């Protein structure tokens, strides 16, 4: 951009951070330059919070290491073969990567050549909005017309979409995630056509990379509408490993908005079509999800069935008692999202707030209490505990220890006497 163009400079707070300026000062030496690139610049223009800072530089990796250490900064060769050094300044890590061109690519196993051409570095990136640079003074550089795409919130591949995708087929899913996260309006048609035509390339990706990308996609603001596009393009089933329905996620997000709450990836997966423990296992295995995600999906799917209709206060308390607050809230949200009568919204909201106003009590009876009262250890203890618990729950959790114990002992007189 021309220096006279008011768009040619930005002044984000993060750029004034002394810790970041120390990194710039260490790198911009002699004829080398360094510029912030990617997400930090993109998010600044989109007025989205910035969490990480990446820097591109003409300095070679070993030079970056030497200069950082000479400036009293910690330098870690996290990806030195690909030109990336993590420089730590005042406990803030900054990834510094030497300008490069891809000589040969296949996923993350690209063969790179370091260079000094900023435009060539930009052209090897995925989307135009990720190829904006800003120097330490705030001057903005836009070699591939990403500025307009940022302002329009349009996710567009750089150059030939097919070529960008074949360099790393994960860009198929990144295209959808970025649209769900940053995009507004219609999805870029050239990009959509390309990802649909290249969708078979997903088979070349590891389950972990697909799972990592989908966990981020399903909780993005525009996830439901974007996954609907993926379903229509025949991409969703390939990615998720099973048929999914975007409509369930549409409804879940609507309920979450009404409740003023957020959704997590496991809950989103349930809304997309996890109906049972088998479904949870299928999708967890296909995406190599963490056990905590699998277990949460399984627990919510099991707890949803008692919520086929809006629960009254007692039914809600029983469900909360038999699960835990996190599983309970997830099951209530899923049940609410499947409700067809909006007149019941107040009941669902009340049920959702139950953990905020009621803590499930513990059964005021233990097996040792029955043994102390003369019941012989063995299967009889389990039977009495189960019947006592059912009665206590049916009595709205009100009976105290003595009442529950008396009820249990009375059962021994009606059934087989205790020995």
Q: What pLDDT digit, counting tens, does each position of 160-205 carry?
A: 999 999 999 999 999 999 999 999 999 999 999 999 999 999 999 9
Distance CA 136, CA 157 (A): 27
**Distant-in-sequence, close-in-space partners of 197: CB < 8 Å, separation ≥ 6:** 162
pLDDT at residue 6 greater than cutoff 90: no
The Cβ of residue 238 has, within 10 Å, a number of other Cβ atoms equal to 16
pLDDT at residue 266 greater than cutoff 70: yes
- The pLDDT of residue 103 is 64
| pLDDT classification of 348: cutoffs 50, 70, 90 | very high
Average pLDDT, rounded, for the chain? 93
- The pLDDT of residue 418 is 41
| pLDDT, average across residues 126-149 | 96
pLDDT at residue 417 greater than cutoff 50: no
Distance CA 39, CA 51 (A): 9
| pLDDT classification of 287: cutoffs 50, 70, 90 | very high
At 211-265, the pLDDT tens digits run 999 999 999 999 999 999 999 999 999 999 999 999 999 999 999 999 999 999 9
| pLDDT, average across residues 71-83 | 93
pLDDT at residue 283 greater than cutoff 90: yes
The Cβ of residue 323 has, within 10 Å, a number of other Cβ atoms equal to 19
What SS3 state is found at 158? coil
- The pLDDT of residue 416 is 46
- The pLDDT of residue 343 is 87
- The pLDDT of residue 4 is 40
| pLDDT, average across residues 315-322 | 96
| pLDDT, average across residues 267-278 | 93
| pLDDT, average across residues 376-393 | 96
Distance CA 394, CA 2 (A): 75
Distance CA 23, CA 41 (A): 17
pLDDT at residue 2 greater than cutoff 60: no
At 24-66, the pLDDT tens digits run 999 999 899 999 999 999 999 999 999 999 999 999 999 999 9
**Distant-in-sequence, close-in-space partners of 234: CB < 8 Å, separation ≥ 6:** 196, 199
| pLDDT, average across residues 127-154 | 96
Distance CA 329, CA 307 (A): 11
């Amino acid at each position: 951009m021309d220096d006279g163009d008011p768009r040619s400079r930005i002044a984000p707070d993060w750029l004034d951070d002394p810790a970041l300026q120390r990194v710039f000062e260490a790198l911009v030496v002699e004829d080398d330059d360094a510029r912030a690139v990617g997400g930090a610049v993109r998010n600044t223009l989109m007025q989205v919070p910035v969490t990480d800072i990446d820097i591109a530089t003409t300095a070679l990796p070993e030079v970056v290491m030497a200069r950082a250490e000479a400036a009293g900064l910690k330098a870690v060769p996290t990806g030195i073969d690909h030109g990336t050094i993590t420089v730590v300044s005042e406990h803030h890590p900054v990834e510094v990567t030497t300008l490069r061109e891809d000589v040969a690519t296949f996923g993350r196993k690209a063969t790179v050549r370091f260079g000094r051409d900023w435009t060539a570095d930009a052209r090897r990136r995925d989307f135009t909005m990720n190829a904006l640079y800003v120097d330490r003074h705030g001057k903005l550089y836009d070699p591939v017309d990403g500025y307009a795409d940022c302002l329009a919130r349009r996710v567009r591949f750089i150059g030939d979409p097919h070529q960008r995708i074949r360099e790393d087929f994960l860009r198929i899913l990144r295209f959808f995630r970025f649209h769900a996260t940053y995009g507004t309006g219609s999805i870029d048609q050239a990009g959509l056509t390309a990802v649909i035509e290249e969708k078979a390339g997903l088979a070349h990706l590891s389950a972990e990379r697909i799972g990592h990308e989908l966990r981020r996609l399903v909780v993005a603001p525009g996830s439901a509408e974007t996954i609907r596009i993926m379903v229509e393009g025949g991409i969703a089933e390939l990615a998720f490993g099973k048929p999914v329905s975007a409509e369930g996620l549409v409804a879940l997000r609507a309920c979450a908005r009404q409740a003023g709450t957020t959704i997590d990836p496991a809950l989103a997966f349930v809304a997309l079509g996890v109906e049972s423990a088998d479904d949870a296992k299928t999708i967890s295995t296909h995406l190599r999800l963490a056990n905590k995600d699998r277990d949460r999906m399984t627990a919510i799917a099991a707890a949803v069935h008692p919520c086929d209709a809006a629960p009254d206060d007692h039914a809600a308390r029983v469900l909360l008692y038999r699960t835990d607050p996190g599983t309970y809230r997830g099951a209530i949200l899923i049940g609410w999202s499947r409700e067809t009568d909006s007149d019941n919204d107040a009941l669902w909201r009340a049920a959702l707030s139950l953990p905020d106003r009621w803590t499930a009590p513990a059964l005021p009876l233990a097996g040792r209490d029955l043994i102390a009262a003369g019941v012989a250890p063995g299967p009889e203890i389990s039977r009495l505990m189960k019947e006592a618990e059912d009665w206590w729950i049916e009595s709205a959790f009100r009976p105290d220890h003595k009442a529950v114990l008396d009820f249990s002992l009375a059962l021994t007189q009606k059934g087989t006497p205790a020995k």
